[in-house]
Amino acid sequence: MGGDLAPEVVVKGAVMALGSIDSDSRIVLYGDADAIRALLAKEGCVEEQFEIVATSEVVEMGDHPVRAFQQKRDSSIVVGFQHLAEGKIDGLASAGSTGAIMVGSTQVVKVIEGVIRPAISTVVPTVMGTPVMILDVGLNVDCRPDILEQYALIGSIYAESVLGVKSPRVALLNIGTEATKGNFQSKEAYELLQVGSESGRYNFVGNVEASHIFTSKVADVVVCDGFVGNTILKLCEGLYAINDTIGTTNSFLEGFNYESIGGTPVLGVNAPVIIGHGKSTAKAVKSMILSTEQAIRAKISERLSEAFK
């Protein structure tokens, strides 16, 4: 029931995903059961292809996230997170209230023991054709050096498990490549990342400038605080929109299309959670579902939990 165009595009996107998920995967739809069944009929899809969990309330975008969890116990987000925490489902995706999703992620599913703060990440295209992962992209706008160091491990595990990159190269986003460049935060983080790399936790390759992100020649994972990461993300979205408006298109630019990415994973919590864009289309919902399935298959939460023991 979450998102600007729900439930229509959510149901349509789920129907589109049926042909792409594995045969042993099952999509569960939470929300107004009558509305879901009517929309499935409109799409010419029999409801038996899904599992439908009826809920009677909706967390609106303007609702206070914490109060919504306390007051709207029968909303699709709240029930979905309860089922995720209980192991009734293996992963959860939503284009609804980001605040509510984060409340569910941290207070219901809970943060992996040892993780200081979870992160949200995105994958951007490169001219070499291989993706680069950036984290954090908006969850934590201020990060201590030790949090950035943890992001290196989290990003490295995700890149290897989900993106299939062997020994991912982890870099710290900075204003220069020299070890002495940057503010206090980045200098301290650099030293911690060196120690972590020497101990074999990940493959730290040093500082990287923003101009190098889209080449993938330097790094596979780029670590930064959420303020900087979100600025980069919004810049990418803006550039895509401009090029789409003027009719410029190619495979590299299409990689910035949020519809193809689907959503951003919440990394550092005990189960796969994917946050979709509020304006998600059916294509974006389909991509979001496939990203969730991929995270489940890769056992990313289990791998992170093991790494932080």
| Angle (CA) 101 104 106, round 5° | 105
**Which of 270, 268, 269, 263 is closest to 294 using CA atoms?**
263
Which residues of the chain fall short of a pLDDT of 70? none
Q: Is 211 exposed, middle or buried, given 0-12, 13-18 or 19+ CB atoms closer than 10 A?
A: exposed
| Residue 127, pLDDT score | 86
Rg of the Cα atoms in the chain: 19
| Residue 183, pLDDT score | 92
Check if 1-115+268-301+305-309 and 116-257 are the same fold.
yes
| Residue 78, pLDDT score | 95
| Residue 282, pLDDT score | 94
| Residue 257, pLDDT score | 80
Ranges of H-type helices in 221-275: 226-245, 251-254, 258-261
| Residue 244, pLDDT score | 84
Assigned CATH class of 1-115+268-301+305-309 = alpha beta
Q: Residue 274's Cα: distance from chain center in Å?
A: 5
| Residue 89, pLDDT score | 97
The pTM (predicted TM-score) of the whole model is 0.90
| Residue 170, pLDDT score | 97
* Domain 116-257 belongs in CATH node 3.40.718.10: yes
Contacts with 85 (C-beta within 8 Å, 6 or more apart), sequence order: 108, 109, 110, 270, 271
Query: Where do the domains of the chain lie?
Result: 1-115+268-301+305-309, 116-257
